[in-house]
Structure 1
Amino acid sequence: MTTATTAPSGRRPGRPEGQRRPERQRQSTWRRRDAATGYAFVAPAVIGAIAFVVGPLIAVAWYSLHEWNVLANTFTFVGADNYQAMLDDPALHDSLLASLWFSLGVVVLNLTLSLGLAILLNQKLPGTTFFRVLFFSPVVVSLVAWTIVWGFLLQADNGINAFLSTLGITGPNWLRGSVTAMISVIVVQVFKNVGLNMILFLAALQGVPEEIQEAARLDGAGALRRFWSVVLPMISPTVLLVAILTVVGSLETFALIDVLTDGGPGTSTTVLVFYLYRQAFEFNQFGYASAISVLLFVIVLVLTLLQWQTRKKWVFHEA
């Protein structure tokens, strides 16, 4: 006669207690190692963000509350005086208006042209690879070199006007008129970066399933209707990305203005970043320039948040 043995109460049958503890310790050690590895990978990015983004932002906000004279070696707390000075500065108002026109022109022309080029180069036609490289090549060219070349082309008797004269057209002095100078810097900026946005749009267009477009075609939708109702909603996340990048990039344009027009004629192309530079490094008003930097940061932040908040209404796959 055999008798069944039962495990002591309070202990599960299976491995002995002494074998389970080392296994738990090993799992805990692995988890700690995984966590340490993850922290080690993200640490450079976090440290870089604190050192080069968060830290400078705090420093600029602090400087904006002071009058900092480097030549006299004085650093005086003035509170909100620099911000009050911005409200009373007509030159700052002119630079804000110039930034508005410049950004509006760059964003509209860049998005329209880059999307149109992407649609054309998405066709299966001979030579599309060559034109893709051709339109993208300005992106990898030095901005200063690109701007200097365009400076020669836009001179009164060179480049563009010389070509127009062969057609019997007298071109304007592009960089000496307020309106033509703004148009010139917008076009030069767009041609410099349109290739990058074109590639982004081209990648998005190639990700649209052909089956969906074929179904719309069978339902009788024309080319324009298919693009507006099928293709555009599906590439809307890329449209949002390109719009944010283009808006932020247009508000941060400096080298192009500095080399091509030096903010002129008058103050017609003195955008906010260029006006900030002049206040800091030409007039040595670092406190006032820091206040303008805070204003620029707020403008970029507000525009980015507005674009991000409106995504739910028109970006595909968003709740």
Structure 2
Amino acid sequence: MGRRLTSPFLLFVLFVAIASAVTYTLPQDHWKKALPGTSMPSAVRDLLPTGKETSPGGAAMEDNKGIVIVPGYWHPYWHPYWYYWYPYPGTYIYKYAASESQLHDDPNASLFFLEKDLHPGAKMMLHFTRTAPAAAFVPRAVADSIPFSSKKLPEILTRFSLKPNSMEEAAMRKTLRECEETAAEGETSGCATSLESMIDFATSSLGTHDVRAVSTEVGKGGAEKQQYYTVVSAAGQSLAVGGKSVTCHAQSYPYAVFYCHATPAATKAYVVPLAGEDGSQVTAVAVCHADTSAWNPRHLAFQVLKVKPGAVSVCHFLTQDHIVWAPRK
């Protein structure tokens, strides 16, 4: 919990050197100024630049403005569905169908449930993972200096010393394409390439800076395996009842990028305390969609829950790297 992910498939982060004349504000400093008194969820804390990152070779460089420039190579997670058409739980894409094999092979399929089943004592088989590489935030001044467009992908690849026709390019192309898609009906959406722009999107969509920001918080051991979890309590834990919320989903990119969308009142969010059978504790964020009539009938949620579009409220837990924003009550 709280550590960035490292594996043979992921050697993160690429920061780009920008002209030293630029005055940088660290993302965490902007949070404190823009959102005084708002607790920072782990999905944000885990991606903050510390000024002490090291490259895969062990060497770290720091410019005279305190921004770390880390040479190295970035590898997105490999998952046979992610880069082509599979919508992971919590995603904003509800138009895709799912294959029959996903019902058996994908541990995230268990994250779907019905709202009526969200009550104390309910047991669910869950596995809380991440859905994107844990790449760090870069300051807005840096992010805004880097092209972010499918049309500019060759230039972006050159900027990060990444090869065309590589796994990295496929992941980046998918992220850029999804960021450029039209928002779902009744929603506003956009991709935040910095923490500052995420805060701006959330607060402008909600019409206030007096907000809560929450993400799934997994205690020690809870993220290591799939196991049964028991709902400890659910009453009084709802967020944004009768109003808008904003959900931001981590994307696969060399630096932290989130797809954010403002959801209508028909979508509810809950903070749900869970207890694992091994004693681990999870404070999970769940989102429930009351209107699923426009979803693809072959969406994974319907196959898992054996229900039809628009019939019932469909819910899913969010993995560790998604964030829900809501006005403070």
Identify whether the pair has TM-score above 0.5, normalized to the shorter chain: no
Please report the TM-score for the alignment, with normalisation by the length of structure 1.
Answer: 0.20
Which structure shows the bigger proportion of residues in helix conformation? 1
Which structure shows the bigger proportion of residues in strand conformation? 2
Give 1 or 2 for the bigger CA radius of gyration.
Answer: 1
